């Protein structure tokens, strides 16, 4: 075990908050920095799912064929901002290079350990605190238009079954008995039992920040501008509010980690998968459990403050706000799946999932700099955040976690 250290955590999303809390509980002097506030990015607007089953990467064999088909179909759940396309080409080449059977199995082996116990990790993070009330246990169902559509997903379901995620499949009228909110367009449900979701991601992040401060941590709203190294090791973080000395730092700033990694001499191939949501306030109906509307690749989650429909992928950087086409797709898919749904108002939102070409996050020390990476989680940030934070806290304390960390090597690019 190391003696107490001065630690700076950069980024107050779920990964940064989790790392900060576990580091504080280990006795370190921890300062959490964020340019906006706790959970202001993707941790605020996600689907709220603790997606323990999310072990199948996006870039499986056949992704090139399906991607080309989707990208030119305005009703498909993949979108491109073509003005950004030239900048994406190097990342897309690397991404497509992993779309083979061998790399898929390697990525699955890396994803499974950091998502498989997500519900338990969130419970451990929040036990006995004000944040615990936002965690709900729930089942999760994939909603298909037909049994044939479910069977067409055989590759992904075979991977899930191998990992123990075996669905209960129901069809026909039994679908509406299981989930009365669904309309006749949905004729097949593949349900997984014993999972969980977050009832209000934004409020959850805010409460985690309160927990961190109640336990002795310090939060500062500040924009990180540079990292100071002495003989190759971090000694301070420069912000718009001054220089803050430290012994070690955790970089958990999501997509905004990329320019800071450059200051450490690493060019990480990190791009944003833009995700959108519609949040319905005052819905006339709520599903019994979260769902995935498979035709539109978006999740539907009952929350304490309304109904959230979130998902899709749009490639196009972080400079622009919400895009009409993904939001329209979610709106059409919601109306088709839930034809009797009415609501008081709807909120539109866009966030940026930090995605690596091999669908795996960066977790661990960057060289011997004393800077620890905790970002790049693509679609599983909320799911894997508490475990990522715990791993990083253990590494800083000199404890090697009981998990193979090679898949997440922060230096692999």
Q: Is residue 394 part of a domain?
A: yes
Contact 268, 356 (CB under 8 A): yes
pLDDT of residue 367: 95
pLDDT of residue 76: 81
Q: How far apart are CA 292 and CA 362, in angstroms?
A: 27
Contact 190, 150 (CB under 8 A): yes
pLDDT of residue 153: 96
pLDDT of residue 1: 61
Query: What's the domain count of the chain?
Result: 1
Residue 63 vs residues 58, 59, 66: alpha-carbon distances, Å = 7, 6, 5
Q: Is residue 1 part of a domain?
A: no
Q: Is residue 413 part of a domain?
A: no
Q: Whole domain around residue 329: which residue ranges?
A: 6-408
CATH number for the domain including 59? Answer: 3.50.50.60
Q: How far apart are CA 150 and CA 140, in angstroms?
A: 15
pLDDT digits (tens, 9 = 90+) for 204-230: 999 999 999 999 999 999 999 999 999
Q: How far apart are CA 28 and CA 392, in angstroms?
A: 13
pLDDT < 50 stretches in the chain: none
């Amino acid at each position: 075990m190391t003696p107490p250290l001065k630690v700076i955590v950069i980024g107050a999303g779920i990964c940064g908050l989790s790392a900060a809390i576990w580091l504080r509980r280990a006795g370190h002097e921890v300062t959490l920095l964020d340019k906006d506030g706790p959970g202001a990015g993707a941790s605020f607007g996600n689907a709220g799912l603790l997606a323990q089953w999310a072990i199948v990467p996006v870039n499986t064999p056949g992704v090139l064929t399906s991607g080309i088909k989707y990208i030119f179909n305005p009703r498909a759940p993949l979108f491109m901002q073509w003005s950004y396309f030239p900048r994406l080409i190097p990342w897309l080449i690397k991404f497509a290079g992993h779309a083979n059977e061998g790399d898929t199995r390697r990525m699955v082996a890396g994803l499974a350990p950091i998502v498989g116990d997500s519900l338990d990790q969130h419970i451990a993070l929040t036990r006995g605190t004000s944040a615990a009330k936002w965690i709900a246990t729930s089942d999760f169902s994939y909603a298909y238009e037909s049994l044939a559509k479910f069977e067409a997903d055989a590759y992904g379901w075979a991977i899930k079954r191998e990992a123990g995620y075996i669905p209960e499949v129901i069809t026909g009228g039994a679908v509406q008995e299981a989930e009365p909110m669904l309309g006749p367009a949905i004729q097949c449900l593949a349900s997984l039992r014993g999972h969980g979701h977050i009832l209000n991601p934004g409020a959850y992040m805010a409460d985690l920040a309160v927990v961190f401060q109640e336990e002795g941590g310090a939060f500062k709203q500040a924009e990180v501008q540079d990292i100071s190294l002495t003989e190759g090791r971090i000694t301070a973080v420069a912000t718009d509010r001054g220089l803050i000395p430290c012994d070690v730092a955790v970089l958990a700033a999501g997509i905004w980690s990329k320019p800071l990694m450059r200051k450490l001499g690493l060019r990480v191939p990190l791009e944003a998968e833009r995700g959108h949501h519609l949040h319905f306030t005052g819905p006339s109906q709520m599903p019994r459990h979260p769902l995935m509307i498979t035709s539109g690749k978006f999740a539907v989650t009952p929350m304490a403050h309304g109904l959230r429909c979130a998902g899709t992928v749009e490639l196009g950087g972080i400079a622009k706000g919400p895009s009409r086409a993904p939001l329209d797709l979610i709106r059409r898919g919601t109306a088709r799946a839930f034809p009797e749904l009415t609501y008081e108002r709807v909120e539109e939102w866009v966030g940026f999932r930090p995605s690596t070409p091999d669908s795996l996050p960066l977790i661990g020390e960057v060289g011997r700099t004393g800077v620890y990476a905790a970002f790049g989680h693509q679609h599983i940030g909320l799911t894997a955040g508490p475990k990522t934070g715990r791993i990083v806290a253990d590494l800083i304390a000199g404890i090697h976690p009981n998990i193979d960390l090679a898949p997440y090597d922060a230096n692999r690019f």
